Structure 1
């Protein structure tokens, strides 16, 4: 028997409202404030995505010098080119999309968290 269930995935960031708007643009859903330092993104599937203010936030490096990663989101999309265009318009930056034949491309959200757009 499981000890717990996954309640949410939380991303630390300097501006929870701005990052929530970015991911709402990518994933849809509804932004629900929970105080000035926390935002939830609901209605995007079975897991809540939340954004928490983190004073002194330092974005992860991708790729890191030692090859390790913290974590990242894989977002499944029907059309990589169309999704890339939308993600960039929302404020994403390209980290690795050189191999256009690959089934995924790597980006950073406006706070610097890496995420992948994956062909679905």
Structure 2
């Protein structure tokens, strides 16, 4: 028997509403709340939350001397179309050169790494 169940994944960032809006455009869902804490309710999926972090410093990727802490894997039907979409929303490519792989790495507008993965 588990001791707990996962409630929400929380991303620290400088602007919770803006980052929640970015992910709402990428995975769908409804942005709720404001101020220092914003929730993204994802239909049929795990919710995400975004928390204001004064002095926020984005993780480095790749960086053997600094931890990226975590990343999100987002499953897509078409890597090229999804890539075009996330770049238009403000994502930055981190590792996208090898087009033969089934995944590509980006940073969201606050610098958190995430992968688009072909299903």
TM-score, with normalisation over the residues of structure 2?
0.95
Distance in 2 of aligned mates of 1:37 and 1:70: 21
Deviation readout 1:2-58 (Å, 9 max, x if unpaired) = 00000000000000000001000000100011x411110003433110000000000
Distance in 1 of aligned mates of 2:86 and 2:3: 36
Give matches, 1:11-22, under 5 Å: 11-22=11-22
4+ runs of 1 displaced by more than 2 Å? Answer: 43-46, 65-69
**Secondary structure at the counterpart of residue 83 of structure 2:** helix
The size of the alignment, in residue pairs, is 119
Distance in 1 of aligned mates of 2:71 and 2:117: 12
CA contact (8 A) 1:96 1:105 kept: yes
Q: Which moved more, 1:6-15 or 1:40-49?
A: 40-49
Distance in 2 of aligned mates of 1:44 and 1:87: 19
Aligned to 2:6: 6
Deviation readout 1:45-81 (Å, 9 max, x if unpaired) = 3311000000000000000133753100000000000
Distance in 2 of aligned mates of 1:18 and 1:82: 22
Aligned to 1:50: 49
Aligned to 2:23: 23
TM-score, with normalisation over the residues of structure 1?
0.95
Unaligned runs of 5+ in 2: none
Aligned to 1:106: 105
Note the aligned Cα RMSD (angstroms).
1.2
Aligned to 1:62: 61
Distance in 2 of aligned mates of 1:92 and 1:22: 9
